[in-house]
């Protein structure tokens, strides 16, 4: 189903997926007078807790997907690993943004990398791997160190293995269980950065300031905004993100993860056609949050301003923080420039994203120190 009309406040937005990204989208949508319905296999989810309607069914349940789509005006996503077939069913009953084509590209690493290459966008060298023989040949071409990644369903470092000269390729390949994989050349990057860019159905583009990201155990740990890079490097990153959104013919929000090299070059690492962990700072620090921007884009409204009101730093809160008991929320809240965001997840597990902190400062250094101090205080309960 296609529509060029705007979906105004009072309309119903469907969200495929029900995690924290959908929760924050729902909060932004309800503030603007929209209704939110969410669909996922789980119950009492972060999104479902704040939605008008929570549907719990398998993504492969055709009748449930079709019924859900008939009850909404426009459908969007809070994660990209929804089966494309399910998106096709939904598209027969409501407007779907971003399109199934965008999800098809971004939910599979090989398709994503081939898309970027065909679009003339810079990225690390890569090779398809479907057997141990393929892996050995790919290592011969790309060398070591290199990184082997599953072609599908990978996030937060899952389905990845760094290869070094000490690696046993037979053992590595057996651990992938015969799944198709992609071997990537190792990139000696100086910084990991990301750009969130929104694009409307009319082709309007709005990008957020470049984020600088610090990872721990393959999971985002801190984000600093604006990134500590030169103006020329920031301009290049913003240009690449815009080109990626236009090449996809995106309607919605796109996170473009990148590597900044020491010589000033920028390579694209991954795409995510949805809000992104590195954009959480925008809820507190920008004129328009990434979640309101996603809503505006998929509903056909004009895009909002992305100005950064103050330097900001974000710190993830993983389930490990609860190992010693309930974190000391009052101690963190005693820092007046710190904002606490929790996702409503009942069980804290090691590595599970439970929430995040955002600090605003007169300088980036001040914001970074405040958010680190707040997280230290949480662990002192």
Q: Which residue ranges make up each domain of the chain?
A: 12-96, 125-185, 189-378
Q: What is the pLDDT of residues 276-324, one digit of tens each?
A: 999 999 999 999 999 999 999 999 999 999 999 999 999 999 999 999 8
- What confidence score (pLDDT) does residue 156 get? 55
Q: Is the pLDDT of residue 21 over 60?
A: yes
- What confidence score (pLDDT) does residue 151 get? 86
CATH of domain 189-378: 3.30.470.20
Quote the CA–CA distance of 89 and 63 in Å, as a whole number: 9
- What confidence score (pLDDT) does residue 189 get? 95
Check: CB of residue 376 under 8 Å from CB of residue 359: no
Q: What integer best gives the mean pLDDT of the chain?
A: 95
Mean pLDDT of 339-358: 96
- What confidence score (pLDDT) does residue 177 get? 86
- What confidence score (pLDDT) does residue 154 get? 58
Q: What is the pLDDT of residues 172-193, one digit of tens each?
A: 999 888 889 999 999 999 999 9
- pTM assigned to the model: 0.94
Q: Give percent of the chain with pLDDT exceeding 70.
A: 97
Quote the Cα angle for 340-344-349, to 5°: 95
335 Cβ neighbours under 8 A, 6+ residues apart = 359, 370, 373, 374, 377
Q: What is the pLDDT of residues 181-236, one digit of tens each?
A: 999 999 999 999 999 999 999 999 999 999 999 999 889 999 999 999 999 999 99
- What confidence score (pLDDT) does residue 380 get? 77
CATH of domain 12-96: 3.40.50.20
294 Cβ neighbours under 8 A, 6+ residues apart = 25, 28, 76, 198, 252, 253, 274, 275
**Residue 3's pLDDT band (boundaries 50, 70, 90)?**
low
Which residues in 190-202 are b (16+ Cβ under 10 Å) and which e?
Answer: ebbbbbbbbbbbe
CATH of domain 125-185: 3.30.1490.20
């Amino acid at each position: 189903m296609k529509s060029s009309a705007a979906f105004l406040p009072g309309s119903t937005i469907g969200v495929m997926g029900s995690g924290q990204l959908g929760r924050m989208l729902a909060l932004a949508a309800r503030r603007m007078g929209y209704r939110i319905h969410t669909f996922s296999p789980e119950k009492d989810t972060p999104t479902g807790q704040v939605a008008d309607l929570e549907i719990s069914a398998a993504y492969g349940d055709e009748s449930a997907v079709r019924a859900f789509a008939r009850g909404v005006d426009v459908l969007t996503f809070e994660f990209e690993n929804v089966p494309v077939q399910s998106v096709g069913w939904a598209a027969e009953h409501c407007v779907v943004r971003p399109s199934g084509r965008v999800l098809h590209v971004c939910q599979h690493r090989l398709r994503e990398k081939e898309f970027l290459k065909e679009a003339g966008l810079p990225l690390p060298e890569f090779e398809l791997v479907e057997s141990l023989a393929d892996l050995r040949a790919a290592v011969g071409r790309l060398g070591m160190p290199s990184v082997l990644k599953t072609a599908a369903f990978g996030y937060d470092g899952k389905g990845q293995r760094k290869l070094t000269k000490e690696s046993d390729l037979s053992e590595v390949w057996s651990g992938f269980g015969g799944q198709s994989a992609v071997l990537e050349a190792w990139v000696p990057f100086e910084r990991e950065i990301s750009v969130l860019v929104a694009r409307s159905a009319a082709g309007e583009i709005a990008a957020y300031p470049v984020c600088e990201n610090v990872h721990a155990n393959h999971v985002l740990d801190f984000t600093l905004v604006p990134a500590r890079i030169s103006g020329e490097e920031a301009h290049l990153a913003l240009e690449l993100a815009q080109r990626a959104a236009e090449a996809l013919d995106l309607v919605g929000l796109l996170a473009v993860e990148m590597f900044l090299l020491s010589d000033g070059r920028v390579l694209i690492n991954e795409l995510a056609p949805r809000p992104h962990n590195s954009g959480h700072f925008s809820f507190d620090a920008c004129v328009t949050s990434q979640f309101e921007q996603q809503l505006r884009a998929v509903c056909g409204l004009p895009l909002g301003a992305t100005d950064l009101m103050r330097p900001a730093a974000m710190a993830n809160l993983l389930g490990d923080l609860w190992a010693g008991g309930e974190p000391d929320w009052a101690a963190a809240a005693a820092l007046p420039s710190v904002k606490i965001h929790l996702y409503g997840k009942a069980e804290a597990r090691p590595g599970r994203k439970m929430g995040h902190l955002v600090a605003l400062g007169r300088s980036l250094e001040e914001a970074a120190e405040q958010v680190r101090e707040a997280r230290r205080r949480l662990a002192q309960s």
